[in-house]
Amino acid sequence: MTNYDIVIAGGAMAGMTLALALNDASKGKLKVAVVEPCELDHSKHPGFDSRCIALSHGTVQILRKYGLWEVLQPLATQIDDIHVSDRHHAGMTDISSKDLFVDALGYVVELAHVGREFQKLVDAIENIDYLCPDSVESIERSTKQVSVCLSSGSQIQANLLVAADGAGSTCCELLNMPSAEHDFEQSAVIANVVTSEQHNHRAFERFTENGPVALLPLSENRMSLVWCMAPKHVNEVIGLSDDEFLSRLQSEFGWRLGQFTQVGKRANYPLVLRTRMQNVSHRFAIVGNAAQTLHPIAGQGFNLGIRDVASLVEEIEKCIEDPGQHKVLAGFRTRRESDRINTIQLTSCLVHLFSNELPALRLARNLGLFAMDNLPQLKAPLLQQTLGLIDR
């Protein structure tokens, strides 16, 4: 049986970031195993697929702290402005980096590119073992250790097991960690698109009667599209020809970026809120999508997960000799409670507010957008969440 200080189940964004941050924070003193079931082709890895993510200003600060931002920055496209609007209605607001005196509101990265770069870093670190393809089959815990049996037949042991294995976490299920689920009755269609006008590092969130449409700036004037809609429409939209798809998107989004001229490969996934009722157990912690999977409406999911990672690393730094002891996990649980609750509630409220065409709610959201655009004190909470400057 091989002994580690920490075993991380899941080698996608949260798991890899955690492994690299732990190595940096401990100056290489922690021996870490990352258990990942998918092969190394990051273009096909479900955690490093064709999707893009927006890294908030606060997330970039965290990545910079652990020496990871210098690796990702060349791959990133900055967001200078965010335009929020409600289709067919007057309500809108703009958020600008210049007004907030920051270099950028955030950055957009393509997950497949991040996966390749993080893999290179992990491969070069002697005290991180990347066990792939392999997966967790069973877990046994004693007072001071957690033992993990892998699908390969190997057995490994550690002071702490961390679930970073995404929504529907195998580790959480094996340990009977309770969860709650809410179906938003929406699906997201994702693709990269090109427009006739330059995006000029602007991002857009447009709310329609069918669901939100988000566009994030990418290199070569591409934009990452997340188009939310009722599940009954997904197969039809996915099956449209490129020209028909672009025409339908044009009708939903409008002409703020000129004409949509190209669309790449399309994919879709259901939008469901999944939350674990608690994020720790005996010698066990949960981070990222394994702890909570959010609607993409405000781009909060990954940024919330990175705050999970950073808080756990900081608690472990206090007790490197035994990272799985109770006071480490109790500290992590307490630190994450408020941020998790507030971000989950904010995201869910936005979904219900902006996906509902009841006249009273439509009026309320447009008045709210108008007020935020004219009253800075009302805009402040949205700006704080957008920048990811959250107490943790």
Domains and CATH numbers, the chain: 2-51+110-180+272-351 (3.50.50.60)
- Alpha-carbon distance of 135 to 152, in angstroms, equals 8
pLDDT at 379: 52
State both tokens at 370: 């108008």
* Segments in the chain below pLDDT 70: 40-50, 87-92, 298, 352-386, 389
Classify the C-alpha dihedral 352-358-360-365 as positive or negative: positive
E strand spans, 196-347:
202-208, 211-217, 222-229, 260-263, 267-276, 280-281, 284-286, 292-293
Single-letter amino acid, residue 224: S
The answer to whether the bond into 133 is cis (omega within 30° of 0) is yes
- Cβ pair 73, 108 in contact under 8 A: no
- Alpha-carbon distance of 16 to 10, in angstroms, equals 8
pLDDT at 389: 67
pLDDT at 39: 79
Residue 225 burial (CB count, 10 A): 23
pLDDT at 296: 85
